[in-house]
């Protein structure tokens, strides 16, 4: 990993630096208080318990990867973070989930407003097919009655999603005229347009070819500057490439969580070691 310390410019925690495609090491968090705190989170589908007592914290402007074999609960975990889990009939979640200290699972928290602060990108790109590229990005703005110049916001977020140059001449074209990888970046732009603080990504590149995947991974590095990201992936190498911290789930339990480098080279738990070395999965 290229350390940003190798550039000549001295860095301060709050200075905006021109960004090359460098990565930030996990050892340089900017602020100490965690963005997300999860305590005792359990989730059920009807009678089946999918998550047991999960405890972890996510540092602001970092990437946390959730890994584990199929059915281990990592996607369920992700969906609890923006309360999409409870939309499934018969599903429920209990525990404490703090965003900047405020409990998201509390009765007085409206899931609708929550989802503006915690955005989500899905496994398969799901742009609204009847809308143009521009309208897709602006969809969240229109819904949430955000004022201001939508066109300017659309351009800004498309640039953030590294898609602007490819679509700037066809903002009015149907969203479906884009390739799969472009559609996924469009969905990312759409999620970013409402300016969330946390971005949840559920296996965002699993439906894409390797080149598109690489672009998404580069994008995550860039987005990390401004957003806190939690990404679920079944691809361990991807987790190693993009994340600062990794959480390993197995059969509904959070087995181990820690800096990515440690999880992959020197994990504390045997199960973690078995998984990352490919002994099962």
Partner 1 sequence: MRPSTDIASARAGPTPGRFAHIGDRAWGWGLTILGGTILVVAGLILLELGRVAAPAFDHIRIFRFLTSSDWDPVQEKFGALPFIYGTLVTSIVAILVALPVSVGLALFLSEMGPRRLRPPVAYAIEVLAAIPSVIFGLWGLFVMVPWLREFLQPALQRTLGFLPFFRGPMIGLGYLAAGLILALMILPTIASVTIEVLKTVPPALKEGALALGATRWEAIRIAVLPYARPGILGATLLGLGRALGETMAVTMVIGNSPEISASLFAPGYSLPAVIANEFAEATGDVHIGALASLGLVLFGITLVLNAVAQVLIMTVARGPRGAKA
Partner 2 sequence: MNPLRWRRFVNVFWTVASGTGVLVALIPLASLLWLVVSHGAKGLSASFFVSLPTPVGEPGGGVGNAIVGTFFMVGLASLMALPVGVGAGVYLAEKGDGPAGRAIRFTAEVLAGVPSIVIGIVAYGLIVTQMRRFSALAGGVALALIMVPSLARSTEEFIRLVPTALREASLALGVPGWKTSLRVIIPTALGGIVTAVLLAVARAAGETAPLLFTALNNQYWNLDPTQPTASLTVQIYNYAISPYEDWHSKAWTAALVLLLLVGLLNLMARLLSRNRMAGAR
Q: Which residue ranges make up the site for partner 1 (CB under 8 A)?
A: 82, 84, 87, 89, 112-116, 119-120, 122, 124, 126-131, 139-140, 143-144, 174, 176-180, 187, 190-191, 194
Contacted entry of partner 1, partner 2, none for residue 145, CB cut-off 5 to 8 Å set by kind: partner 2
What does the alpha-carbon distance between residue 112 and residue 196 come to, in Å, rounded to a whole number?
13
57 binds partner 2 per the rule CB under 8 A:
no
What does the alpha-carbon distance between residue 122 and residue 267 come to, in Å, rounded to a whole number?
29
Q: Is 87 exposed, middle or buried (0-12, 13-18, 19+ CB in 10 A)?
A: exposed
Site string for partner 2, 60-79 (x = CB under 8 A): --------------------
What does the alpha-carbon distance between residue 86 and residue 109 come to, in Å, rounded to a whole number?
14
113 binds partner 2 per the rule CB under 8 A:
yes
First to last CA, the chain: 27
Choose which of 14, 20, 145, 280 interacts with partner 2 (CB under 8 A): 145
235 binds partner 2 per the rule CB under 8 A:
no
112 binds partner 2 per the rule CB under 8 A:
yes
Three-state DSSP state, 26: coil
What does the alpha-carbon distance between residue 179 and residue 91 come to, in Å, rounded to a whole number?
34
What does the alpha-carbon distance between residue 110 and residue 114 come to, in Å, rounded to a whole number?
6
What does the alpha-carbon distance between residue 234 and residue 69 come to, in Å, rounded to a whole number?
7
110 binds partner 2 per the rule CB under 8 A:
yes
Applying CB under 8 A, what is the total number of residues that bind partner 2? 6
Q: Least distance to partner 1 from the beta carbon of 136, Å?
A: 9
Q: Which is nearer to partner 2, 114 or 247 (CB)?
A: 114
Site for partner 2 in 151-210 (CB under 8 A): none
Q: Which is nearer to partner 2, 4 or 144 (CB)?
A: 144
Q: Which residues bind partner 2 (CB under 8 A)?
A: 110, 112-113, 143-145
């Amino acid at each position: 990993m290229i350390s940003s310390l190798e550039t000549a410019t001295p860095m301060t925690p709050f200075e905006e630096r021109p960004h090359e495609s460098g990565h930030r090491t996990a050892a340089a968090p900017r602020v100490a208080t965690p963005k997300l705190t999860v305590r005792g989170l359990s989730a059920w589908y009807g009678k089946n318990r999918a998550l047991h007592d999960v405890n972890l914290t996510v540092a602001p402007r970092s990437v946390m990867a959730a890994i584990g074999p199929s059915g281990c609960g990592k996607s369920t975990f992700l969906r609890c973070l923006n309360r999409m889990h409870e939309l499934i009939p018969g599903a429920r979640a209990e525990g404490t989930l703090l965003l900047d200290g405020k409990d998201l699972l509390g009765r007085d928290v409206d899931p609708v407003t929550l989802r503006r602060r915690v955005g989500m990108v899905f496994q398969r790109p799901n742009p609204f097919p009847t809308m143009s590229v521009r309208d897709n990005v602006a969809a969240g703005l229109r819904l949430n009655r955000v004022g201001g110049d939508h066109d300017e916001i659309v351009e800004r977020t498309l640039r953030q999603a590294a898609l602007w140059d490819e679509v700037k001449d066809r903002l009015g074209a149907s969203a479906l005229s884009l390739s799969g990888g472009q559609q996924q970046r469009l969905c990312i732009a759409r999620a970013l347009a409402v300016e969330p603080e946390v971005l949840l990504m559920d296996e965002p590149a699993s439906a894409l070819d390797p080149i598109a995947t690489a672009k998404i991974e580069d994008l995550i590095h860039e987005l990390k500057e401004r957003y806190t990201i939690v990404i679920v992936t079944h691809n361990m190498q991807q987790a190693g490439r993009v994340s600062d911290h990794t959480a390993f789930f197995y059969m509904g339990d959070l087995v181990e969580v820690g800096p990515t480098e440690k999880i992959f080279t020197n994990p504390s738990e045997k199960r973690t070691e078995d998984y990352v070395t490919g002994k099962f999965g």
